[in-house]
Structure 1
Amino acid sequence: MIKFCLLITVLFVATGVQAQNADRLTLQQAYDLARQHYPVIRQKDLVRQTADLTISNLSKGFLPQLNISGQATYQSDVTSVPVSIPGVKIDAPGKDQYKIQAELTQLVYDGGNTSAQKNVQIVNAQVEDQKAEVELYKVKDRINQLYLGILLVDAQLEQVAYVKKDIEIGIKRVEAMIKNGTAFRSSRLTLEAELMKNDQRVIELNANRKGLVDVLSLFINRSLPGNVTLEQPTIPMTLVKESVARPELKYYNYQSELFKVQNQLISAKNRPKVNLFVQGGYGRPGLNMLKNEFDLFYIGGVRLNWGLGSLYTTKKERQILEVNERMVDVQKELFMLNTNSQLKQQEAEVDKLSQLIQSDQRIIGVRAQVKDAALAQLTNGVISTNDYLKELNAEDLAKQSLLTHQVQLLHAQINYRTISGNQ
């Protein structure tokens, strides 16, 4: 019974932890889940399978190859011996001839062609795999927008709650004044109308949050509850300049490597190939052309093949590879230029937003003092309800501006790390 109770307790604790984890999400978890379920990830497996199958087929080139052929012919004339030897009769072969044979060949040396083709397949698979990595990395930018958009809505909801408290305080003060006969009932109605407008903002913000959460759920292929809590990413306030580590750089390097192994393949095609072979068959005539009857025959030896026709195009093929490699270098240089330009822009954005946040904080301090003074004046009947709401809304706008700038700063910092490839 004790063991059973302990088991039930462990199950409840595990279930509670799992439920708690399902209600919380970090930015890194969103990255990982989006990567696992983005359709491009399946392309990586297909690329690997294709490369493995192709390399396996290339390896079979060194297995013995069997070729079977046959023919039946009729010819207008045959070779004969126009010499009459007493006591010796030499029959001319028949004009109808038949032959069926099998040839077994074993590749001994192919000039490195098979090895070069394998290298091409390996590097080409790396290029395609890294191309998929480039596409997968682009998903991070979309996740950033959704994740930080939800954080901004959460901050706005908190601010709306603060405003609601201030309005409710104002309503209590006005109710006391109405009881004392120092304020009109219309003042309370004005505040209540503002409170209803505040509730409308809550409805709008919750709807926006739900839309963002639903889209994020699609990207990570995980059903997120409407009240899911997104943890604030921890980013240093000061930017740490890091070297660019984007997947595009590996992609360009693999492309350059592909051109190098293709150049090796060109060299391999120009080398001779050596095969061992054995032929065996049955036909009329056999190897003895003067024996006009069906007979078995065989022949074996070494065969050398050296196609020199490709030498005409070798130089141009190498030049094409050199041009393509230079094009990749230009693309890489252009990518680094654009990336460094984007990083400079993000640095300027971070600096600007940091200054704006400091300014927002000073403005909020002033607006808070003005609002508190307006509340005191409203209590004493010096100003109207509209005047109080004016100062309350001014403070709210200042706080909304601060929240927006704070999330924008966080977004700019994350963008900087994402652009540099270190996020």
Structure 2
Amino acid sequence: MVKHWKSAALLLWITPALAQDSSTLTLEQAYDLSRENYPLIKQKGLVRQTADLTIDNLNKNYLPQVTVSGQATYQSAVTSVPIRVAGLDIPTLSKDQYRIQAEATQLLYDGGAVSAQKNLQQVNALVEDQRAEVDLYKVKERINQFYLGILLLDEQLKQTELVKKDIQLGIKRVTAQVDNGTAFRSNQLVLEAELLKAEQRTIELKATRKGWLDVLSLFLNQSLPENTALRMPVVRTYIMAPGINRPELKLFTYQDSLFKSQNSLISAKNRPRTSLFVQGGYARPGLDMLKNDFAWYYVAGVRLNWSLGNLYTTKKERQLLTVNQRMVDVQKDLFLLNTNTQLKQQQSELNKLEQLIVSDEQIIGLRAKVKEAANAQLENGVITANDFLREVNAEDQARLSLIAHRLQWLQAQINLETISGNQ
């Protein structure tokens, strides 16, 4: 029986009768359009651009670095030779001294600091990009809500049209009886009033549908005409979702890589740095301190820098990274627990709805027979219009219940795919 109604539902819903001039929309198209037009998608491009610019600046550290400096000083005392040697004039340095110089430095080894910073920027860009993916994935839940809500309204509109046809048939038969003098005019008026109520219901459903369609159009950034037909989604039916493939899991992986990159940067900061340098300048005095004249000079060599101050904080920094990594692990475990719980709940909901749908079909079969009997009785004047309407409404409620349960089953199946990330 379950397989029977599933097959019938697919045949009935997958290829709905659509007007030739009406536009159509699928759930997959709605996903794509919402992703393309959601403002958060722009953030992904900015994240990549920021990372590229930062990495490009870091690469500049491998280029020769040039600095220019100058100073003019006056000092209270200068170096002098207190010995007088006959025939030898030892000049006295001026107390006002001047120096302007340029220095070019070429990095030879930085302990891997630049490479670690570049890797950190790349991984951080992946983390921020994946955060945006997580938020974009949540938009699917909103799209599911609007899309399936409109489908439910469509099915309710179809059912309302069937009810109106039943009432119109009853009016036709009662009118003939009234004309023949075999029925009261009040029976006809009761049916006509019920028909007007059905018309009101159609107006309400169409207005609600238009409101939901307008909201959906905002997410898609695309105008959806009132006659837009939404195709029934085709879903896979499986017992349980084959694993979890949510973007949050990739985010947790990237965050773990980010902690490893930060740890590598801590190690790199504690290593020595070596570089080549060359200085050139014009000063008084120059390199010859015994000449009190302006002179050109240059100095070239290899420089070693090793900052030991970072060693004081290295241990605490690593401990902080370990704590943060454990927090992410806890978040991952909590996410998996909640997701698996939701999957179990959705599977239980599917099982319940499958049983309800089978029961609905049995009830409709019985209600249809009762209505047909009431139709014949109304034609023969055995029952009143109110009795006939009672049976029509009973069948209507049974069919509305089936429609609701089928849409709920479809929603539960789509939720199962969305929660597991296997869409």
What TM-score results when the alignment is normalised by the length of structure 2? Answer: 0.94
SS at 2:242's partner residue? coil
**Aligned residue number for residue 11 of structure 1:** none
Write the distance in 2 (CA, Å) between the matches of 1:309 and 1:374.
Answer: 95
Specify the alignment match of 1:46 in structure 2. 46
Match of 2:219 in 1: 219
Structure 1, unmatched stretches of 5+, are 1-18
Query: 2: CA distance between counterparts of 1:280 and 1:78?
Result: 24
* CA distance, structure 2, for counterparts of residue 20 and residue 263 of structure 1: 62
Spell out the pairing of 1:252-401 with structure 2 (5 A cutoff): 252-401=252-401
- State how 1:161-172 maps to structure 2 within 5 Å: 161-172=161-172
Distance 1:85 1:98 in 2: 29
Q: Equivalent residue for 1:9?
A: none
Task: Give the structure 2 partner of residue 110 of structure 1.
Answer: 110
The reply on whether 1:405 has 2:387 as its aligned counterpart is no
Alignment of 1:249 with 2:249, yes or no, is yes
**1:123-174, Cα deviation, whole Å (9 max, x unpaired):** 0000000000000000000000111011100000000010011001101110
Relative distance call for 1:21 and 1:128 in structure 2 (3 A) is: farther
Distance in 1 between the 2:141 and 2:21 partners?
A: 24
Q: 1:240 Cα deviation (Å)? A: 4.7
Residues 268-326 of structure 1, C-alpha deviations (whole Å, 9 max, x = no match) = 10111011111111111111111011111111111000001111111111111111111
What secondary structure sits across from 2:313 in the alignment? helix
Q: Which moved more, 1:235-244 or 1:204-213?
A: 235-244
Instruction: Note closer, same or farther for the CA distance 1:262–1:237 as it changes in structure 2 (3 Å cut).
Output: closer
User: Does the 8 Å contact 2:152/2:407 carry over to 1?
Assistant: yes
Q: Matched residue of 1:68: which SS?
A: strand
Deviation (angstroms), 1:238: 4.3
Segments of structure 2 that go 5 or more residues without pairing to the other structure are 1-18
Q: What is the letter of the counterpart of residue 186 of structure 1? A: S
Answer yes or no: is the 8 Å Cα contact 1:282–1:295 preserved in 2: yes
What percentage of aligned pairs have identical amino acids?
66
Q: Secondary structure at the match of 1:301?
A: strand
How much has 1:239 moved relative to structure 2? Answer: 3.6
Q: One-letter code of the match for 1:54?
A: T
Structure 1 stretches of 4+ with a deviation exceeding 2 A read: 19-22, 236-241
> How far does the alpha carbon of each residue in 1:65-111 deviate from its partner, in whole angstroms, 9 at most, with x for none?
11111111111111000111110010110111111111111111111
SS at match of 2:79: coil
- In the alignment, the residues of structure 2 paired with residue 189 and residue 255 of structure 1 have an alpha-carbon distance, to the nearest angstrom, of 71
Counterpart of 1:133?
A: 133
Shift in Å at residue 185 of structure 1? Answer: 1.2
Structure 2 distance, partners of 1:312, 1:294, is 45
CA RMSD of aligned residues (A): 1.2
Please tell me whether the aligned partners of residues 69 and 102 of structure 1 are also in contact (alpha carbons under 8 angstroms): yes
Q: Which residue type is aligned with residue 314 of structure 2?
A: T
Classify 1:267/1:346 alpha carbon distance in 2 versus 1 (closer, same or farther; 3 Å): same
Residue number in structure 2 paired with 1:60:
60
Summarize deviations over 1:222-270 as a string: whole Å, max 9, x none.
1111111111111234445311000000001100000001111111101
CA distance in 2, matches of 1:236, 1:376: 43
Q: Contact 1:174–1:187 (CA<8 Å) still a contact in 2?
A: yes
* Structure 2 letter corresponding to 1:216: L
Match of 1:4 in 2: none
Q: Distance in 2 between matches of 1:55 and 1:20?
A: 54
Amino acid at match of 2:34: A
In 2, distance between residues paired with 1:160 and 1:238? 33
Question: C-alpha deviations, 1:316-352, integer Å up to 9, x for none?
Answer: 1111111111111110000000000000000010011
